[in-house]
Amino acid sequence: MEGVRYASFTSFATTKSSSFSALSPSSIIILRQKPHKKALKSISHRNLVISASSASNSVVTLLDYGAGNVRSVRNAIRYLGFEIEDVRTPKDILNAERLIFPGVGAFASAMDVLTKTGMAEALCTYIKNDRPFLGICLGLQLLFESSEENGPVNGLGLIPSVVGRFNSSNGFRVPHIGWNALQVAKDSEILDDIGDHHVYFVHSYRAMPSDDNKEWVSSTCNYGDDFIASIRRGNAHAVQFHPEKSGDVGLSVLRRFLNPKSQGTKKPTQGKASKLAKRVIACLDVRTNDKGDLVVTKGDQYDVREHTKENEVRNLGKPVELAGQYYKDGADEVLRHTSENVFVPLTVGGGIRDFTDANGRHYSSLEVASEYFRSGADKISIGSDAVYAGEEYIKTKVKTGNSSLEQISRVYGNQAVVVSIDPRRVYLKSPNDVQFKTISVTKPGPSGEEYAWYQCTVNGGREGRPIGAYELAKAVEELGAGEILLNCIDCDGQGKGFDIDLIKLISDAVSIPVIASSGAGAVEHFSEVFVKTNASAALAAGIFHRKEVPIQSVKGHLLEEGIEVRI
């Protein structure tokens, strides 16, 4: 989804027509809606699906081991005019004309499935025989000797090196999420159209280049240190980034692998990528109105109803159409129906908790999240459930492993889990008035108060909880969150700028990326939050929906201010 608005939690879209979020260059679109009893009619239990290929040049074999979002890869392949056959047996791998392995999730879980099904041995044989292969993200990492993720865990052992975690002690936030630049080391064929463009990464672990693997390395990326961004040996290719989420540039990578002789009909525009870009995120708040229609709305301090006699839900348009428009405008992440032709990350939130359907069938939060991932989400956002988990962890100091946050992070990796925090500012006369972290405010309170703390809320901001935003952020990072969506009820819909005090407090307290949300009303608000805080991304909704401030105007302003964004 890169991704989803992670704010006043009214659950993200959970229906087929609007379940994910989209973004482009530096923006993420997030779709949410109020919990709906029919949102999850059923969750299918899929067996291992991997695909058998045919001799036809238009057919691609896809190795989908059953975890995470591969819908986007499927959409991209079909968009480029190719058919897909899924591997079901190891023999299907060996018979493939072209094989794509979009690995997602955790290293250990993937290796366990590949080994038990006999796919690991077949995959090694296929690659050693110099057959056309493209691994994506985890599909690259699994080629190495082992990984430190929940390990050590043995990999396929084709490439010398151990996959290790990024070092966050040098100030770089982990996971590495967003649009970064490549340094192409040798002729790679599939990277020929990338040039100075950003591509999309989302991962916590990486392999490092060395003398032992230098013959494999085709490009590197810098994030604290240079890590391996892609490999190539003969017909075997693999990339750490997500081409299916990297817009036109990413499509060119897939096109060159699927049809090496093709130059493509749409050349990416000239880029200026040099490092990790700041993200500009467009959020879609999706709700069901009183007529039962899904609409994009926008709250004013979380109030989404018009102040009229009818008191209707504020309607700013249809979610799929707006998401598609934001992709064209340069947003960095989007959602489901839109994901068929929108090649940027998707995040979905709302209803990520244990669920019982009308027939009494119970689904765990992990099952709910799994269905979202299978339907096209790249990340999921957890709100109220994460608050309760954080409270319990602070109270007991015990990681039970039972919370939705812990379960999903363990199976899919922390880079797939966003926690949405919805705090409200509470002014104080003295920092000693509460047990929570307080700040000296930039602007005094209504009675001249010089201090404040930020109280977390649940249920769309309607219920305050005995935990501060600072304490919750620290707790959910420990429990496995990979990113924080930081909202502010006081600033929501006001258009007077982000709450810099709050964002600085939280972004300085954690080592995971923080998305600033609530309050943007002008292009200058985006540069301010990036200059004055350590936010990795900034999100807005209403100003983009109403076209008061175009996304490209925000990006143009940031470039003028010397802040790198994806263009």
Residue 533 lies in a domain: yes
Q: What is the pLDDT of residues 388-398, one digit of tens each?
A: 999 999 999 99
- Coil, strand or helix at 31: strand
Same domain, 227 and 105: yes
Residue 297's domain is classified under what CATH number? Answer: 3.20.20.70
Residue 17 lies in a domain: no
Question: Which pair of structure tokens corresponds to residue 191?
Answer: 């990277």
Same domain, 105 and 191: yes
Query: Which amino acid, 18?
Result: S
The predicted structure's pLDDT at residue 67: 64
The predicted structure's pLDDT at residue 256: 96
Which of residues 227, 258, 289 is at a domain's end?
258
Residue 137 falls in the annotated catalytic set: yes
Same domain, 66 and 173: yes
Residue 478 lies in a domain: no
Residue 337 falls in the annotated catalytic set: no
C-alpha–C-alpha distance, residues 25 and 547, integer Å: 18
Residue 517 lies in a domain: yes
Same domain, 249 and 286: no
Q: Choosing from 85, 92, 137, 528, which is the catalytic residue?
A: 137
**How big is the CA angle at 522 (ends 521 and 524), to the nearest 5 degrees?**
130
CB 369 within 8 A of CB 42: no
Question: Which pair of structure tokens corresponds to residue 35?
Answer: 């919990």
Residue 247 lies in a domain: yes
Same domain, 289 and 331: yes
Residue 422 falls in the annotated catalytic set: yes
Q: Choosing from 85, 285, 378, 406, which is the catalytic residue?
A: 285
The predicted structure's pLDDT at residue 359: 87
Question: Which pair of structure tokens corresponds to residue 421?
Answer: 């925090």
Same domain, 173 and 321: no
Which of residues 226, 258, 290 is at a domain's end?
258
Same domain, 99 and 237: yes
DSSP 411-427: HH-GGGEEEEE-EEEEE
Residues 500-503: contacts with CB within 8 Å, 24+ apart?
Answer: 500/442, 500/528, 500/529, 500/532, 500/533, 501/439, 501/441, 501/442, 501/452, 502/423, 502/425, 502/454, 502/469, 503/529, 503/533, 503/535
Same domain, 111 and 207: yes
- Coil, strand or helix at 121: helix
Q: What is the pLDDT of residues 251-279, one digit of tens each?
A: 999 999 999 877 654 455 556 899 999 99
Number of domains in the chain: 2
Residue 201 lies in a domain: yes
CB 469 within 8 A of CB 400: no
Q: 252: domain range?
A: 59-258
Residue 375 lies in a domain: no
Which of residues 223, 258, 293 is at a domain's end?
258
Residue 516 lies in a domain: yes
The predicted structure's pLDDT at residue 55: 38
Q: Choosing from 242, 337, 545, 557, which is the catalytic residue?
A: 242
C-alpha–C-alpha distance, residues 472 and 456, integer Å: 8
C-alpha–C-alpha distance, residues 189 and 444, integer Å: 59
The alpha carbon dihedral of 170, 175, 180, 181 has a sign of positive
Is residue 135 within a helix (H) or strand (E), and if so which, with residue range? strand 133-137
Residue 197's domain is classified under what CATH number? Answer: 3.40.50.880
Is residue 103 annotated as involved in ligand binding? no
In angstroms, what CA-CA distances link 361 with 40, 43, 106, 193, 350?
Answer: 11, 10, 28, 49, 19
Q: Choosing from 244, 490, 528, 564, which is the catalytic residue?
A: 244
Same domain, 103 and 196: yes
Same domain, 181 and 285: no
Residue 237 falls in the annotated catalytic set: no
Q: Choosing from 422, 477, 483, 490, which is the catalytic residue?
A: 422
The predicted structure's pLDDT at residue 8: 27
Residue 525 falls in the annotated catalytic set: no
The predicted structure's pLDDT at residue 559: 96
Is residue 464 annotated as involved in ligand binding? no
The beta-strand segments (E) located in 429-482 are 439-440, 451-458, 463-468
Is residue 491 annotated as involved in ligand binding? no
**How big is the CA angle at 207 (ends 537 and 244), to the nearest 5 degrees?**
50
C-alpha–C-alpha distance, residues 346 and 4, integer Å: 7
Same domain, 283 and 174: no
Indicate the burial class of 291 (C-beta count within 10 angstroms; 0-12, 13-18, 19 or more).
Answer: exposed
The predicted structure's pLDDT at residue 407: 93
Same domain, 339 and 207: no
Least Cα distance to 429 among 451, 454, 455 occurs for 451
Question: pLDDT under 70 in the chain at which residues?
Answer: 1-56, 67-69, 263-271, 285-342
